[in-house]
A and B are shown apart, each in its own frame.
Chain A
Amino acid sequence: MSEMRDMLANTAGSVFAALAMQSDVGAAWSVIMDAGFPSLLVAEDRGGVGGDWGDAFAVVRLAGFHRLALPLGESMVAASVLSTAGFDMPDGMVGLADGVAGEFHDGVFSGVLHRVPFGRHLNTVIASIDGHLLVLQTAGAVINKGSNLSGEPRDTMRFERTRAASASYNSDLRALGAFTRVALSAGALDAQLQMAIEYVNTRQQFGKPLSKLQAVQQSLAVAAIESAAVNSAGQAAALALDRGPAVFEVAAAKLRSNIAIGQAVGIVHQVHGAIGFTEEYPLHPLTNRLASWRSEFGSDRYWADILGATAARWGGSGFWAELTRRSDGFGDLSHV
């Protein structure tokens, strides 16, 4: 598996780096489609690449690292969920909705999908409501354009009595979305750290590079630790997803990632000084995306509440047994 992952990562790295200059979403997306990334998690016998969640982490992490402005993680998750539910892969760009408000009866959906990533560009969007997976064609949606801090589309999509394909669905779609945010953040935090290291090794003050100041070294060590925590948590969550239902692990990884964003971004900006705060200097696309991802697919509060409730139910004497049972992959992993 790891040889395939290395190959994937090499391809993803060069494809994403080359797309940095491509501002046309449609053109960029066709490059991504040609490379086969959206079907990464779809089994080979269903026409996909047959990768695992660790492969998905590696690729989406690089999308975060290279500031790829496309809903790649969302489309990967959507393709995986659709394929598992027995749907054929729709044509075009498929997205993932988190905030869903509305009603679904007799195959007809009326309601609103809030802040859908790249909503205006999507052909299809999936959402879950009341135990149903909805597959919505976006052609009939009324779109209210919005954006995140980095200017990426986050659109509200209103559907009136729209016929939707559906399947019964009892997994946590938000957790899968959260996993993509952990992977993106892992890459973006590493990219910021790299920029900070290059900057302090170059910038001279007090007659020497900033990196020679112990205060700067110690600060950046903390940023590196936080980034390491997110990268580890994301890969551990990927392994848990490969084992089975992993809402607990994804919840922990997403919360840890949110905490890290709060800590590391501040340090990276601090060592950059004023230049890092300018429009000209390319730190803000990472900063703004990280800020956006922290809120998406579950805030700190949301996931902390789920983790806290789970731990409380396990209790003081049951906590360790459950924690280890889950990582041993032993018994029923679905209940959180």
Chain B
Amino acid sequence: MQTFVYTPFVVPECAPELRVKLREFLKAEMPDVPPARKANSWSVVDRDFSRALAAAGYVGMVWPKQYGGHERDPLERYIVLEELLAAGAPVGAHWVADRQTGPLLLRYGTEAQRMQFLPSMARAELIACIGLSEPGAGSDLAAVRTTARRAAGGWRINGQKVWTTNAHNADYMLALIRTAEGSQRQEGLSQFFFNMKLPGVTVRPILNMAGEHDFNEVFFDNVEVPEDALIGVEGAGWQQVTAELALERSGPERYLSSYALLTHLLGLAGPEPGELLRGKIGHLVAELWTLREMSMSTAARLAAGEDPVIEAAIVKDLGNTFEQTLPQSVQSLLQDHDMEGQTALNETLGYLLQMAPSFSLRGGTREIMRGIIARGLGLR
């Protein structure tokens, strides 16, 4: 038996050049941010930077040209993503649209919907958020209760989402909503894509424990959305959203959130550290290297049009564990005098110690991932 089908990531010939060009772009265009903001940088929103990145052709890279894309190889896109994260670039504004919402529209959207939204996503002008969780539907996503009912010229939405990342920055939301009255669980759900400025949409911040405003509550009070806000097939929302979630589990953001801290640890260690530090760094490097290979393998399978559900869950769980362990491991190595002063190391460590618990919650909890893996093993 083999639970993880390893697929070689055939490195595109242009990879070295692609990296050099992107690194030069980042040197010139990346805004000066406090050190801690280079960790977990896919949650840092900077519209101007995202637009500049898009103008240089690094957003919507794999989409067809008629929708504003660049028809690049998905593996080239993977290289761009990992370079951006390793550099700590603030990519939060366009990340969700580029990773998830754009591809969803390409797959399930009508021609008119694609023409309406994809070009502005590829320019990083349209920021998307994803409305999944509700007060009664966290890990149990099928318990979604927000409703959409047919109304004159479209649909009327009522209900509430919660933990919606970026809702306060987003122009549009992609939401999973119950369309069939009286339907249960996975049946009768549909996906809608609608403007956050519509009357009846209210966004309230929820500060996280680091004091940051990242996620929100979103209320829908008789929100009238047009007929074409429905994405894909009415009632097929569950199948659509499941396919969409597989895209978000195995990317480099699932193991690189704490990467900035490793660079600071190497800085502290210097070129010839003692045996204890060498050993600890060696362990971190072995994990990082393996995770990168696993994430790249999964990217190669996705690029081949396959649906590596188990592999993606494995990458996410292992990657989250790594990005949670890294801050702890670095903390365990520091001595009193290392902790003095506002150094990049200290600021990044402090930030990550606070943020790390969220890594195995967002995008599906550790327990849900392991449940998916257990099902793949034939245990459920």
> Which residues of A does B touch, CB under 8 Å?
190, 193-194, 197, 200-201, 211-212, 214, 216-218, 220-222, 224-225, 227-229, 231-233, 235-236, 239, 249, 251-253, 255-256, 259, 300-301, 303-317, 319-320, 323-325, 327-330
Which of A218, A231, A306, A312 is B374 in contact with, Cβ under 8 Å?
A218
B281 touches A197 (CB 8 A): no
Q: Which residues of chain B (274-292) have a CB below 8 Å from chain A?
A: 275, 277-283, 285-287, 289-290, 292
- Residues in B lying within 8 Å of A, measured CB to CB: 1-4, 6, 8-9, 11, 15-16, 19, 82-83, 86, 262-267, 269-273, 275, 277-283, 285-287, 289-290, 292-294, 296-297, 311, 314, 317-318, 367, 369-371, 373-374, 376-380
Bound-complex Cα distance A116 to B261 (A): 42
Q: Is the interface of B mostly helix, strand, loop or mixed?
A: helix
Cα–Cα distance between A214 and B374 once the two chains are bound (Å): 9
When the two chains form the complex, which single residue of B11, B15, B293, B373 contacts A225, counting CB atoms closer than 8 Å?
A: B373
In contact, A217 and B374 (Cβ under 8 angstroms): yes
Contact (A197, B286) CB under 8 Å given A224-B314, A225-B373, A312-B269 = no
Q: Tell whether A201 pairs with B379 under 8 Å between CB atoms, given A218-B370, A236-B293.
A: yes
Beta-carbon contact of A233 and B290 below 8 Å: yes
The 10 residue pairs across chains A and B that have the minimum distance between CB atoms: A304-B282, A308-B278, A228-B4, A308-B282, A307-B282, A221-B370, A316-B263, A217-B374, A236-B293, A308-B281
8 A–B contact pairs at CB < 8 A?
A: A197-B378, A225-B317, A228-B311, A229-B318, A255-B282, A304-B281, A308-B281, A320-B86
Chain A contacts for B4, CB-based, 8 A? 227-228, 231-232
Our pick among A201, A211, A315 for the contact of B271 (Cβ within 8 Å) is A315
Contact A329 B289 (CB under 8 A): no
CB distance from A224 to the nearest CB of B (A): 5
Q: Which residue of A lies closest to B266 (CB)?
A: A316
User: How many Å lie between the Cα of A251 and that of B287 in the bound state?
Assistant: 11
For the complex formed, measure the closest distance between the CB of B80 and the CB atoms of chain A, giving whole angstroms.
12
B286 / chain A contacts, CB cutoff of 8 Å: 251-253, 255-256, 259, 303-304, 307
On whether the beta carbons of A220 and B266 are closer than 8 Å, the reply is no
In the complex, A319→B281 CA distance in Å?
12
Residue among A235, A252, A301, A329 with max Cβ neighbours from chain B (10 Å): A252
Query: What's the minimum C-beta distance from B297 to chain A, rounded to whole angstroms?
Result: 6
Asked whether A236 lies within 8 Å of B6 as measured between CB atoms, the reply is yes
Residues of A near B277 (CB, < 8 A) are 308, 312
Asked, given contacts A190-B2, A193-B1, A232-B293, whether A252 binds B285 with beta carbons under 8 Å apart, the answer is: yes
Instruction: For B9, list chain A residues within 8 Å (CB).
Output: 327
In the complex, which residues of chain B have a beta carbon less than 8 angstroms from the beta carbon of A313? 271-272
Chain B's closest residue to A326 (CB) is: B289
A301 touching B279, Cβ below 8 Å: yes
Judge whether B290 and A311 touch: CB under 8 Å. no
Q: Which of A312, A314, A320, A330 contacts B16 (CB 8 A)?
A: A330
Distance (whole angstroms) from the CB of A74 to the closest CB of chain B: 23
- Smallest CB separation, B21 vs chain A (Å): 14
Chain A residues lying within 8 Å of B281, measured Cβ to Cβ, are 304, 307-308, 311-312
Contact check, B266 vs A315: say whether CB atoms are below 8 A apart. Answer: yes
Q: Is A220 within 8 A of B282, CB to CB?
A: no
Q: How far does the Cβ of B12 sit from chain A's closest Cβ, in whole Å?
A: 9
| B19 partner residues in chain A, CB cutoff 8 A | 324, 328
Q: Whole-angstrom distance between the alpha carbons of A290 and B9 in the complex?
A: 29
